[in-house]
Amino acid sequence: MPNTVIRAMGEGGVLTLRLDRPEKKNALSREMYGALSDGLQSAAADGAVRAVLLAGGDDFTAGNDIADFAADGGAGEAPVRTSAALDFLEVLTRFPKPVVAAVRGVAIGIGTTMLLHCDASVAARTARLQMPFARLGLVPEAGSSLVLAQRVGQARANWMLMSGDAVDGETAAREGLVTRAVDDAEVEAVAAAMAGQLAGLPPGAVAATKRLLREPYAVALKEAMDRERAAFSERLRSPEAKAIFAAFLNRKG
């Protein structure tokens, strides 16, 4: 597979991890999850990296590749691509340095839930953020069954996760799902400036602040992600989800 996650070290210690699979709207494969995990783990150990910018192109990401998930819906242990996705989320939630996301176009499923674990996120006003897990016969991941309500309130979280309705970037910023909403052409520049601002601060103080912000709910988050991982793998193998995936792929064919 071509290099679909590009690493680029910029000025001021900001490392950009860019999703680069535009023909699939940056739908995430097992290899891409592995590259993201490797990039974050390398950045955590590299003293020259002070912050990370997660970006795409015209789209942030369409989420998991449905064809990959349909292929992995067999019996046995947790499907390998599912594990790769959830392993990446665990790396992201433990990452000790600032992470800023630049969101344009679509941010579907994990494309939205990963934002819950970024320290800041900038979305285009016209971006489409959506968590359609129930529509696919699945359940939430990334601890979103716990964390989303902390961002947007319980009633709103209930509706977003159960209905799978999409919101635009303007709404996402107003409700606290992302940090800022700006014009499409400004997204990456604004996100890069925010990452640069955090990278320019005393790194020990920033890391300690991030740790303090997360420690109060760290145990609850791990427990929620463990529950979600088990339920997600079970649902992925369910006849209900398999039928939905098959219908989706037949429509595309």
pLDDT band of residue 74 (cuts 50, 70, 90) is very low
Q: What is the mean pLDDT of residues 68-96?
A: 71
pLDDT in tens, 226-235: 999 999 989 9
Running DSSP on this structure, what letter comes out for residue 28?
A: B
Of 101, 161, 142, 137, which Cα lies nearest the Cα of 248?
137
Angle at CA 31, nearest 5°, toward 72 and 116? 85
pLDDT number for residue 172 = 98
The domain spans of the chain are: 5-209+216-252
pLDDT number for residue 79 = 45
CATH code at 5-209+216-252: 3.90.226.10
* Higher per-residue confidence, 183 vs 81: 183
**The residue to which tokens 């433990």 are assigned:** 94
* CA–CA distances in Å: residue 50 to residues 8, 37, 137, 226: 13, 17, 39, 30
Residues 6+ apart with CB under 8 A from 239: none
pLDDT in tens, 115-148: 999 999 999 999 999 999 999 999 999 999 999 9
pLDDT in tens, 161-215: 999 999 999 999 999 999 999 999 999 999 999 999 999 999 999 999 999 999 9
Residues 6+ apart with CB under 8 A from 111: 26, 60, 61, 62, 63, 103, 129
The number of beta carbons lying within 10 Å of the beta carbon of residue 95 is: 18
Longest dimension (CA), the chain: 53
pLDDT band of residue 20 (cuts 50, 70, 90) is very high
pLDDT number for residue 77 = 44
* Higher per-residue confidence, 66 vs 127: 127
80: pLDDT strictly greater than 80: no
* CA–CA distances in Å: residue 2 to residues 6, 12, 41, 105: 10, 28, 21, 22
